[in-house]
Each structure stands twice: as C-alpha cells, then as structure tokens.
Homo-oligomer: A and B are copies of this chain.
Amino acid sequence: MVKRYLTVTSLDATLSLLNTSFACIPSREVVPLLKSVGRVTAEPIFARYSVPEVHLAAMDGIAVVSKETEGASEQHPVTLDHALRVNTGNVVPPRFDAVIMIEEVHVQNEKFTIRKAAPPWQHVRPAGEDIGESEMALPSRHLIRPSDTGALAAYGITDVTVLTVRIGLIPTGSELVPHGDHPSPGQVVESNTVMAEAMLVTLGGTCTRYPMVKDNPDEIKKILRQAVAENDLVIISAGSSAGTKDYTAEVIAELGEVLIHGIAIKPGKPAIIGRIADKPIIGMPGYPLSALTVLREIVLPLLHRFGLPVPSWETIDALFTVSVSKDIGSDEFILCSLGHVGNRWVLSPLSRGAGVQMSAVRSNAYLKIPAGVEGFEAGKSVTARLTVPRTEAERALLVTGSHDPLLDYLADLLMQKEVDLHSTHVGSMGGILTLKKNECHAAPMHLLADDGEYNIPYLQKYLPGEDVVLICVTERQQGIVSKEGIGFDGLCGHTFVNRQRGSGTRMLLDHLLKKNRIDSSDIRGYEREVTTHLAVALAVKSGEADAGMCVYSAAKALGLCFNPVASERYEIAIRSEYLDDPRVSALCDTIISPDFKAILHRLGGYDTRETGVRRVLP
C-alpha cells in the first residue's frame, strides 16, 4: 500500500516551528581579508593602531609653530626661525602645530617668509583622525562591503572571523548519475545538491556534498549520521515523498524525530522537517523546482536566523495575464516573466511543471498565491517578487506568440544591448490576443489567410483600427521532419506528431490538408500536440512519431530529414507607440543586423531577402 502524509503543515506554521525548535547557532571561520566581501563578521573588529598614528601634513608646504606666525600680513611679512619643509603625508613633528601651503611661502636661502598667520592645527591631519587605537572598526554581524576591506587593511587587519553554517547535502536516489555524466533513459543527473551548494555558498555557507546514496535505508542512515556529526544543518535531497522507495522520513525518525512531513506549498509539498541532535534536518523533494521552492522559502529563512546575509526579494505590483485556479490550502509559487509594457508591469506565468527547470532560468520574478485563495481571473493586480535586480527587470522585452528557434538567437544578440528578451510560446493566435490586450511588446506570427496573405487579415480582424506595424523577420521553410525522408503525401501511412491549435504551423497544416483533400482523421497522431518546433523534431527522433511538421532549423539541429512543403512569412507585430521604446528599437535594429542574418543563414531554412521590411495595416 502507498503511504500518504497524515497531515500537511502550512508554510507559516512550518516557519514558526523552525523558529521555536532550533537555536540556530552559526559556526565561525577565519578568512583572509580579501575573501571577506559579502561575509558577515562573527565578532567586533578593533583597530590595531591609530590611523594616522602621529600628526601628518595634509598639504605640501612647511610645518610651523603657529604662535610664531602671529601678526604676519602682506604689509608685515614674517620670516620664520623654526619651520620644516613637508610634503602631504609627512610627519609633523611634535614641536610644530600647523602647516602652511607651499604656494603661500616665499623660500630663499632655506629661509621661509610668510604673509599670513597660520591658526593652530591648520592643514594637519591629527593622529587618530580616521580611527583610534583599540576603537571598534566594525561590529559583529556586519555585512562586509568592498569599501570596508580598504579600511580594515589600513587598520592592520589581515584576517576576519566570519559567520558560516556548515551544511551537509546528501543526494539520494538509485536513479541518480553524477553531474557531468550523460544519464541513460530513466536516469537523472544529480543537480539538486549542485544548485543547493551554489546557492548556499554565495551566502557564506560551508557545504559538504556527500556521495550519492541509493534508495537504501541503511546506507542513508549511515551517511546521515555522519552528516549530522559534521554539520550544523543537513539537507537530504529526494526520497521525501510517500512512495515505496522513499526512506528519508523513516531514517530521520530512527535517528531523531520527524517534526513535519508534508508542507502545504506547491511545488514542494513532499518536504520534511526533522531534528537530530538538536540540529535541523530538511528533506528536500526531488523535483528540481520543488527543491528550489523549499530552498528559497524554508532553508533561506532558516539561514537568515543563523545570521547569514539572505537577500530580501524586491516586490513589484503587476497585472497578471492569465486566469489561474489552484487548490485551496496550499501556498502556490509560480515562476513568471515580468516586464514593463505601456504604463504598467505585466506578469506572465511560465510552465508550472515541477520538472521544468527552464521556467526558473527564464523567469525574472515569481508570484506567491496565498493558501486561502482559490485562484483568480486574468487581469488581476498582484505583487511579484523579483529574482533579478529591478534594473534588469526594467530591461525585459516581452515577446509573445509563435515560436521559432531564431528567437533564442535574437535574445542572445539583444543581451549585448542590455535588452532581456522574454519569449512566451502561445502560438500566433495567442500572440495576437496578447497584443490586443497590450500585454506584450511584440508578437511574432505566421498566419496564412484564405486569400494567401500572411498576418495582415488577422490583425485587421482582431485589432481593427489599431496602429500596428509588422516587421518581417524572415521567410522560412516549413516541412515534414522524419528519419526516413517522408514527404507531405506520405503522411497518411505514418504516425504523426502535431502542433497545438492556434499555432501558425497547425493552421498551415490544416490549410494544406484541406487543399489536398486529406481528412485529418486519416492521420494517426493528429491529436498529439506539442508546443515547439523542436518538440516536434524530438518526438520524431525519439521514435514516438514517424513524422511531423516544423521549420528546417529544428530538423537540422537533430540531424533529421526535412521535406519542404511551404515557405511562410514570419513577422513580428508591434504597436507603433512602442517603436521608440529603447527595448523595441533594439529589437528592430537587431533583426536587420548582419550578425542576425548570418545566424539565420547558418541555421538554414531561412530566407532573409524580406528581413526588416515593414508593413503597416492598410
């Protein structure tokens, strides 16, 4: 029988329990001053000596006894008996108490004549001006900045005692292969503890990744016991669910106690909080985005209590573009693309699959939908949390519509202009509707109308009277991808993989089927939909289907055969009002750049003769 969580604990209750259950006493380590930036002091730091230790000249000039300069004026110059030539930074010996700038001194035969009195301590940097011997330069718990290192160096400090937390990371799972190995089908690269280490080390954590352990409770127990002895906190990756091969909770219970099994968050529900020898043990789910959520929402707050410098996520109020429903009772975290369109921020969800790490890579923000909410309608105002600096979010260019691999290359080129292209693949029709709602900057499309015209008839229908410009990216070849060179006329005899409804490629296929009087029900797999050209090619390469329709570059990338069936106009629609937006103009400039055209030629299947041609709606 399958084990189930008896109870699921809310995120708030989980965080409270962590607060009350653990003392969170950090460890300390000594690091060289040059490695101390971003670390947190474990104890106050005191100046070893005064800086400066003696009075110094603050100007090039002469050191004088101020009393001897009294009465000097233009009318009554004074020639000094006692004076000493000093440069900036030279010691002002104790018998002197002022410095006169060399420009104000007449020098002849090593005699100094002045025409203005010097008040005591003029142009003298007094001993201890910067800091006094034994004075506290930095308190404990101070986050060390680069400018602090200069001061500490000057005060005689070469090493700094900083806070750390020793964190043991235990990867479990019989299906794991180490990072760097190519996994066989059904195997998985052990990437979650890599991500955890990368994240926790930047905060000053000292991570030990233990060897991968198979799904064997005795082996897990042995390594967990060792990890608890050697660390302040232990994170066990995977095995935290309730399946037949999930032993994490059982092993924690044997060595200590399970405080929580199952947390009301999505993704991340199968998480565990345990305690062994008064130390916190976190069972982190195996799905990468579940792991990410548990790290961000549970482990980071815990490390903050240990004193590590966990950053706060900046928030931005934005319009959420789609309707979502969710289970009541769980906090749900949705990775999103955030961009500023028109006069407001727009937030679009990325794939919610817990295995889709590209959602994390593509996202620049995330949304927390609280447990008490069942979901909400598109157009709601929400508060997003940024995962990039705000300035980077301001550079986001939202491109929503038809997918083509060339968009990734456009994104690559645009990064050099500091524009961050976020492309969302919702098909050509999806792009038109997003453009209509003014929720993207640009919508790529290739929609063939009955009259043989591309795109314009659809824009006229859906955005009548609106001021929209079409910019041609390329004329591109669509064709049948296969292992064996199947052509359009051979489709009926083979298994097919289709694109989703609303995509231009799907509409092109339907157009061609109709034209050739082929009934779609004669095509096996017609109902099997995927959302990108590469997904079509992959389905063919993996043997799931014999053929599909996609662009040439996708077939070429996977070394498959390609039989062209049509050339189509792939254009980007942009509201004219945004053409002057620096992000949009960078996009337009990049489309016509020689670098981009060279990439199109290299990828193959793209004709650039029309590239950059602008059309306005008649």
Could you tell me which A residues sit within 8 Å of B by CB distance? 2, 33-34, 36-38, 44, 48-56, 58, 60, 87-91, 94, 102-103, 120-121, 125-143, 145-151, 153-154, 156, 158, 175, 179-180, 182-183, 185-186, 188-192, 194-195, 197-199, 201-202, 241, 243-245, 286, 288, 291-292, 311-312, 314, 353, 355-358, 360-361, 387-392, 405, 408-409, 411-412, 414-416, 418, 527-528, 530, 532, 534-535, 537-539, 541-544, 557-558
For A314, list chain B residues within 8 Å (CB): 390
Classify the interface of chain A: helix, strand, loop or mixed.
Answer: loop
CB<8 Å pairs between A and B, sample of 20: A33-B194, A34-B194, A37-B199, A56-B186, A89-B175, A89-B186, A91-B185, A94-B542, A126-B539, A129-B355, A130-B353, A132-B538, A136-B405, A139-B412, A142-B415, A147-B195, A149-B199, A151-B358, A151-B360, A158-B179
Provide the bound-state CA to CA distance between A2 and B101, in Å.
Answer: 11
**A599 shortest CB reach to chain B, Å:** 11
Contact yes or no, B60 A134, CB < 8 A: no
Give the complex CA separation of A372 and B150 in angstroms. Answer: 31
Find chain B residues with CB under 8 A from A142 CB: 415
User: Closest approach, in angstroms, between the C-beta of A408 and any C-beta of chain B?
Assistant: 4
A357 and B102 form a contact (CB under 8 A): no
CB pair B194–A149 under 8 Å, yes or no, is yes
* Partner pick for A33 among B54, B126, B179, CB 8 A cutoff: B179
Contact B141 A557, beta carbon cutoff 8 Å: no
Q: What is the bound-complex CA distance between A130 and B361, given in angstroms? A: 11
Known: A198-B146, A412-B44, A544-B127. A288 touches B387 (CB 8 A): no
Shortest A360–chain B CB gap in Å is 4
Asked if B292 and A147 sit within 8 Å, CB to CB, the answer is: yes
Q: Is A392 a contact of B542 with CB atoms below 8 Å? A: no
Which residues does chain B contribute within 8 Å of A125, judged by CB atoms?
A: 353, 355
**How many identical chains are in the complex?**
2
- Structural contact, A151 and B353, CB atoms closer than 8 A: no
With both beta carbons as reference points, the residue of chain B lying nearest to A48 in the complex is identified as: B182
Q: Is there an interface contact between A243 and B87, defined as CB atoms closer than 8 Å?
A: yes
Check A146–B199 contact: CB distance below 8 A. yes
Q: A2-B103, A34-B198 are in contact. Are A130 and B409 (CB under 8 A)?
A: no
Cross-chain contact A182 with B49 (CB below 8 angstroms): yes
- In the assembled complex, which residues on chain B have CB atoms less than 8 Å from the CB atom of A534? 128, 132, 134-135
Decide if B357 touches A151 in the complex (CB within 8 Å): yes
Contact of A535 with B126 in the complex, beta carbons under 8 Å: yes
Given A147-B292, A528-B120: A133 touches B538 (CB 8 Å cut-off): yes
Complex Cα distance, B56 from A195, in Å, reads 23
Tell me if A60 and B2 are in contact (CB < 8 A): yes
Interface centre among A288, A391, A416 (most CB of B within 10 A): A288
Chain B residues with CB under 8 A of A94: 542-544
Q: Is there an interface contact between B542 and A54, defined as CB atoms closer than 8 Å?
A: yes
Tell me if B558 and A137 are in contact (CB < 8 A): no
Closest residue of chain B to A192 (Cβ to Cβ) is: B150
Give the complex CA separation of A220 and B138 in angstroms.
35
Q: Contact at B311–A389, with CB atoms within 8 Å?
A: yes
Residue pair A129, B415 in contact (C-beta under 8 Å): no
Give 8 new A-B contacts, CB below 8 A, not counting A37-B201, A87-B245, A140-B416.
A38-B202, A50-B538, A50-B542, A54-B185, A135-B405, A143-B388, A150-B195, A158-B179
Q: Check B182–A150 contact: CB distance below 8 A.
A: no
